[in-house]
Amino acid sequence: MNKFWGVDADPTAQGRIKGAKPVAVLDIGSNSVRLVVYERHARALTPLYNEKSSCALGRGVGQTGRLADANVAQALDAIKRFALVCRLMRVGKVFVLATSAVRDAANREEFVAAVEAVMGSPVQVLSGEQEAHFAALGAVAGILGFTGVVGDLGGGSLELSRTSKGTDTDGQSFELGVIRLQDDSNGSAVRAAEIVRGRLVETALKDIEPGASFAAIGGTWRSLAKLHQILRKYPLHMVQHYVVPAADMIAFCEDIVAAGAGKSYPGAGNVSSSRRELVPFGAAVMAEVLKVGRFKDVVFSALGVREGFLYGMLDAREQAIDPLIQGAEELSVLRSRSPAHASDLIGFTSQFLSAAGVVETSEQTRLRTVACLLSDIGWRAHPDYRGAQSVDSIAYGSLSGIDHPARTFLAQVMAIRYDGLKSKTAAALVDLGTDQLTARARLLGALFRVAYPMTAAMPGILPRIRFEVADTEIVLVLPTDLAFLDGEHLQNRFDAFAGVAGFKSARVQLA
């Protein structure tokens, strides 16, 4: 039997969570049809497979009222391929969501029936209010505690919801998607801005208290965020939780709109061909929304309707799980030499802080816990590149529930843990954090460098070791049966750590 097509053996690799059943969402939008397969349905979603096909189903719907035959054929071909992917990956459950273009089309029933025949799953055609609701849930799932307004810009529509403490209200949908705007404005981004301005003037946006935050969702807005990062020379090209002052983003968007549509705006060559002509229309919507709502900043979310839909299906207990810690725990299980050692390291670092009289905030404790969980994920790499590869895994990984300064904190800890206090990789990340975050990253990274030579990343040793502090001296207390650990290598690292921690002297003592 051809092994590729064989279905008798379980294709799951050892690098995946044991017993996890994949779940998939097929998102049929106005601009693209996208399939995302997640490793399992959990609070922290890890994509196993992510592919889109730019079918532009929304093209012309505003004028003709129908999905164009050619676009439907292209979409169905893509969906047939996605159905095969779901079978090959043994997806347990497939959710099929359709948004603006499908719900507005006169021939939607015919298209929906064709999709259901291919996928073997029902198609849920979301109302504008449902789309706004799930987009809001997607934002709050990835940006913990977000309060403000969530906007989801698609090809056919713009959905807006007010959000506070995980609950969304006032969900509204507007015919302001980028494809529809491109059609309605005859390809003029300047005219599109006028259309947006006219349609938003009497919305609930004008009643929002000035100074709120705006969370932006959608592929075109993600492209806008990436372009902003490139042109502003921002060092971390990660869209999730990228925050920009509203005044800066408005000026940036107005420059793009003024340059016109097509490929003429600044940095257009950095945008994917499928989004290039749509970015000016996304910029027009962004600028007008920020102005009407008098927002203080915009935070971009890579999580949207798909993730919000799955988040909404979780019970309250699961929704309350910290996605950052859950995601870090999964990485520890999958990529560290011993997950139990990470637990020892959490206790070891906590005991030092207690002995030194260092008080942590709840967020500092949270980030320290995550750093311990991630501290050994780079061990398979060549020693010269463990720091850089671990930094990339954290800085550009799929972890959610974390902002950019905290991401760079974790990355700095990992760089120092592997490369030492003079790490160039760590130095390159300093500007994205604060002096306090950098100081704590250096402290924690240096402490990791003390722990690992004593344990070989195996559990059972660190709980037997403790710190004592006397005035300006720090003492590492070893049990007598581990006296042999007190060698030059440990002492050098302990001395370096003591310097970072602000102690004048350091010694090892047997007990």
Asked if pLDDT for residue 248 goes beyond 50, the answer is yes
Tokens of 129: 């209010």
Whole-number pLDDT of residue 3: 39
Whole-number pLDDT of residue 118: 96
Asked if pLDDT for residue 144 goes beyond 60, the answer is yes
Query: Do the beta carbons of residue 246 and residue 286 sit within 8 Å?
Result: no
Which residue bears the tokens 């800085």?
Answer: 395
Whole-number pLDDT of residue 208: 87
pLDDT digits (tens, 9 = 90+) for 116-131: 999 999 999 999 999 9
Span 92-105, average pLDDT: 93
Asked if pLDDT for residue 262 goes beyond 60, the answer is no
Lowest mean pLDDT among 206-215, 221-230, 284-293: 206-215
Question: Quick one: how far is CA 283 from the chain centroid?
Answer: 22
Question: Which phi and psi (to 5°) does residue 409 adopt?
Answer: -60, -50
pLDDT band for 501, please (50, 70, 90 cuts): very high
Whole-number pLDDT of residue 201: 83
Contacts of 430 (CB under 8 A, 6+ apart): 408, 412, 438
pLDDT band for 7, please (50, 70, 90 cuts): very low
Whole-number pLDDT of residue 95: 98
Asked if pLDDT for residue 165 goes beyond 80, the answer is no
Span 50-73, average pLDDT: 91
Asked if pLDDT for residue 63 goes beyond 60, the answer is yes
Pairing of the two strands 158-164 and 242-245? unpaired
Say whether 323-460 and 129-308 share the same fold: no
Span 487-510, average pLDDT: 95
Q: Which amino acid is at 234?
A: Y
pLDDT digits (tens, 9 = 90+) for 442-481: 999 999 999 999 999 999 999 999 999 988 999 999 999 9
Number of other CB atoms surrounding residue 446 within 10 Å: 22
Provide the mean pLDDT of the chain.
92
Element (H, E) at 172: strand 167-174
Asked if pLDDT for residue 429 goes beyond 90, the answer is no
- Cα–Cα distances in angstroms (integers) from residue 267 to residues 250, 261, 262, 271, 279, in the given order: 16, 13, 12, 7, 11
pLDDT band for 4, please (50, 70, 90 cuts): very low
Q: For the chain, what percent of residues have pLDDT higher than 90? A: 79
Asked if pLDDT for residue 378 goes beyond 50, the answer is yes
pLDDT band for 11, please (50, 70, 90 cuts): low
Rounded (to 5) percent helix, strand, coil in the chain: 50, 15, 35
Q: Which amino acid is at 391?
A: V
Put simply, whether the predicted model's pTM sits higher than 0.85 gets the answer yes
Quote the CA–CA distance of 147 and 171 in Å, as a whole number.
14
Whole-number pLDDT of residue 261: 56
Quote the CA–CA distance of 343 and 76 in Å, as a whole number.
49
Tokens of 430: 């300093």
pLDDT digits (tens, 9 = 90+) for 221-239: 999 999 999 999 998 889 9
- CATH number 3.40.50.1000 given to 23-125: no
Asked if pLDDT for residue 290 goes beyond 60, the answer is yes
Structural domain boundaries of the chain?
A: 23-125, 129-308, 323-460
Whole-number pLDDT of residue 12: 61
Span 157-183, average pLDDT: 89
Asked if pLDDT for residue 427 goes beyond 90, the answer is no
Lowest mean pLDDT among 110-114, 168-172, 290-294, 367-371: 168-172
Quote the CA–CA distance of 249 and 255 in Å, as a whole number.
10
Asked if pLDDT for residue 71 goes beyond 90, the answer is yes
Between CA 223 and CA 113, with CA 45 as vertex, the angle to 5 degrees is 75
pLDDT band for 6, please (50, 70, 90 cuts): very low
Whole-number pLDDT of residue 263: 58
Span 210-228, average pLDDT: 96
Closest Cα partner for 194 from 132, 101, 186?
186
Span 202-206, average pLDDT: 80
Asked if pLDDT for residue 1 goes beyond 50, the answer is no
Quote the CA–CA distance of 380 and 376 in Å, as a whole number.
9
Whole-number pLDDT of residue 316: 94
Asked if pLDDT for residue 190 goes beyond 60, the answer is yes
pLDDT digits (tens, 9 = 90+) for 317-359: 999 999 999 999 999 999 999 999 999 999 999 999 999 999 9
Asked if pLDDT for residue 19 goes beyond 90, the answer is no
Kindly state which CATH superfamily the domain 323-460 is placed in.
Answer: Hypothetical protein af1432 (1.10.3210.10)
Closest Cα partner for 356 from 478, 463, 503, 508?
503
Asked if pLDDT for residue 311 goes beyond 70, the answer is yes
Q: Could you say which architecture CATH assigns to the domain 129-308?
A: 2-Layer Sandwich (3.30)
Asked if pLDDT for residue 362 goes beyond 80, the answer is yes
Query: Using CB atoms within 10 A of its CB, is residue 389 exposed (0-12), middle (13-18) or buried (19+)?
Result: middle
Closest Cα partner for 391 from 404, 378, 405?
378
Whole-number pLDDT of residue 488: 93
Span 475-504, average pLDDT: 96
pLDDT band for 266, please (50, 70, 90 cuts): confident
